[in-house]
Chains A and B, each alone.
Chain A
Amino acid sequence: MTIDPSKVRRFAHGSRVPGWDEAADLAKDPAVVPDPASTPVPAQVRAAIEAHMASYPDVRSAAIPALHVVQREHGWCSPTAIEQAACVLRLTPAYLAAVATFYDMFSTTPKGRHDVYVCTNISCSMRGADALYEAMLTAAGDDPDFHVKAFECLGACDIAPMASVNGEYVGPLEPADCARLVDDLRAEREVLPDKQLRKRKVAGT
């Protein structure tokens, strides 16, 4: 299997990364703390972030909770969302972008409203997680509301193969359950009530 160099797509300066030399917004300086006067922040977002800031000796510690708040508000960590968090925390957007890109649960690209994380780590994959992930992708189709992601160990190997649906752990799943799961989410119902982890008893009892 050799790579044909003429088939490799190249962008500016021979890079294989498209748009690597374009700043997100050339008009704004990400290294400057946003001006509260020109950065409107919704009142509930400000209140939630300030509540988090009050629980820590150093406001910087509220960076992750603040990003959770703005991601919930905006659907993803958009430049606007990061700027709002930065404005309340009095940090630079560049700093928060650095934090947001480090963690798996923050998305710096637009994503669907429903997070479906399918665990594809060792224990789950030995019980058919890869087939489950494929089935989940097929069931969600190209619906923009769904954000199906293969995730590393979610800490629920007792119900392998499993998925976390908007934070609700469900399992053990069959590929056939995916259609029901997607239907439940579309109808805004409780997801697979018979397979929820929170209702499960301790093993061996």
Chain B
Amino acid sequence: MKVLYKDLDEPGLNTLDGYRRRGGYDMLRKALKMEPQDVLQQMLDSNVRGRGGAGFAMGKKMSFIPKGAMDKYLVCNADESEPGTFKDRELMQKNPHQLLEGIIIGAFAIGANKSFIYIRGEYQHQADVLDAALAEARAAGLVGERILGSDHSLDLVVHRGAGAYICGEETALLDSLEGKRGNPRLKPPFPAVQGLYKGPTLINNVETLMNVPVVLSMGAEEYVKLGTETSTGTKVVSVSGCVQRPGNYEVELGTPSREIIYGLAGGPREGRTIKAWFPGGSSAPLLPGSDEFLDLPYDFDSLAKAGSMLGSGAIIVIDDSISIVDVALKTAKFYRHESCGKCTPCREGTNWTVKMLERIQTGEATPMDLDIMASVQDQIIGNCLCVLGDSMAMPIGSMIKHFRAEFETHIEIARERGGLGVSIPQVNRGEQAGPYPMLEPA
């Protein structure tokens, strides 16, 4: 069942009239007549989990915002930079008013009077679309003082970033929005207690906020019937890489992954097979393309149980023509470039991982480097302020785990090409040390 992607290409949907034709802003009217507490309860009952990466229940996050009169903020995270993810871009471009409606209702529920959409600087067209939609909404009295004659006021600003992946991390986003370099903050205090300008702040992804009017129109009882018990609703999945029809597909959570990759996206090109796939953007641990993993239901818990995560809902398919070492190097280089440099394990770990992978490419590595690389990943995980370092450590660690043989073959081939000859086994790792017999200990 399609909820967000229903007739998304309808002409004029990005205008206020077009959105109203399909009942747009009716839910805002309905919400403003309700008590904020009741709106929040609907979100809690619907059990919508965050669509940005962490999968934290939205209602719960909203309930952490303290009550009472103070400056509270709602920030929409539209800094979509996770490799492989492009759902928010399409949603904002084609249906900006639904996002605005979600933000206004969300702000009403938590009592925020100031709201920001932090959109990545590269999305210039999408930011223009949002600005135009915002101007229309403001002219119609949907944003501003005393919305639709109620007591609720909301000021909304579209803030354009300037190209930094780290600003998708919620505390780095807040720093960036305050006009600083985008460095993550130490948590706690969590943004719900002390966020933007030291006020309580709710930060949600575009897709999550667009689900708010949907939950209200369907009612929480109906909404939970979509998806699985713990992962309710639908999810827009961005499928890219080695598939025939890359694009965004909206599915109910719990749909078999095979159906998304083969059924909707057309599967790999003729004569190719899937070697591996990222289930949730490049930060999610890679899964092999075997039946066991392709048959997994696509929802938060099943993927977590399989050792990966749903993340931002971006499937990147890698077929058998691609070398896993190349993918590892691209992934590591990305995180090296995007590491803000605040925490040592991430700043140094990403850098050294790239250097070691480059040694593998140039034929200077030995199989021992794989062990060192794996141990570097272990030392990054959990030792930084934010999860950027982990986001490299988890996929690289999973690549070494699932494709160790390919790395080792690659090392030997590259050594031979570089004229360095076969590697000398340097650590006793039994059979894993390569095709050459181990040296007997003296």
Contact = CB atoms under 8 A, between A and B. Distances in A.
B181 A102 contact: yes
Which of B82, B90, B314 has most chain A Cβ within 10 Å? B90
B44 interface: no
B114 A153 contact: no
A103 B164 contact: yes
Given A122-B83, A156-B86, A203 B240 contact: no
B83 A99 contact: no
Interface string A43-56: 00000000000011
Nearest to B83: A153
Interface in B376-422: 418
Given A103-B121, A152-B337, A155-B120, A122 B282 contact: yes
Contacts of A117: 122
A2 B248 CA distance: 47
A154 B88 CA distance: 12
Contacts of B262: none
Contacts of A99: 179-181
A1 B334 contact: no
Which of B160, B240, B264, B340 has most chain A Cβ within 10 Å? B240
Given A155-B120, A158-B247, A64 B125 contact: no
Interface residues of A, number: 50
B84 A157 contact: yes
Which of B80, B246, B264 has most chain A Cβ within 10 Å? B246
A105 B203 CA distance: 24
B330 A158 contact: no
A126 B178 contact: no
B355 to A, nearest CB: 13
B316 interface: yes
B162 A122 contact: no
B9 A103 contact: no
A105 B123 CA distance: 12
B197 A157 contact: no
Contacts of A157: 83-86, 238, 240-241, 246, 314, 316
Interface string A120-136: 11110111000000000
A123 B86 CA distance: 12
Contacts of A104: 162-164
Contacts of B86: 155-158
Nearest to A57: B197
Interface in B164-198: 164-165, 176-182, 197
A106 interface: yes
B1 interface: no
Contacts of B180: 60, 63, 99
B101 interface: no
Contacts of B418: 1
A158 B93 contact: no
A201 interface: yes
Nearest to B420: A1
Contacts of B181: 98-99, 102
Interface in B294-328: 314, 316, 318, 322, 326-327
5 contacts: A64-B159, A154-B122, A155-B81, A158-B86, A158-B248
Given A103-B121, A152-B83, 12 more contacts: A64-B159, A64-B160, A103-B163, A104-B163, A105-B122, A106-B162, A121-B330, A122-B84, A126-B322, A159-B246, A203-B249, A204-B249
Interface of B: 5, 8-9, 71, 80-86, 88-90, 93-94, 114, 120-125, 157, 159-165, 176-182, 197, 238, 240-242, 245-249, 264, 278, 282, 314, 316, 318, 322, 326-327, 330-331, 334, 337-338, 340, 362, 364, 418
Closest 9 CB pairs of A and B: A203-B247, A157-B240, A104-B163, A167-B124, A103-B162, A63-B179, A60-B179, A105-B163, A153-B83
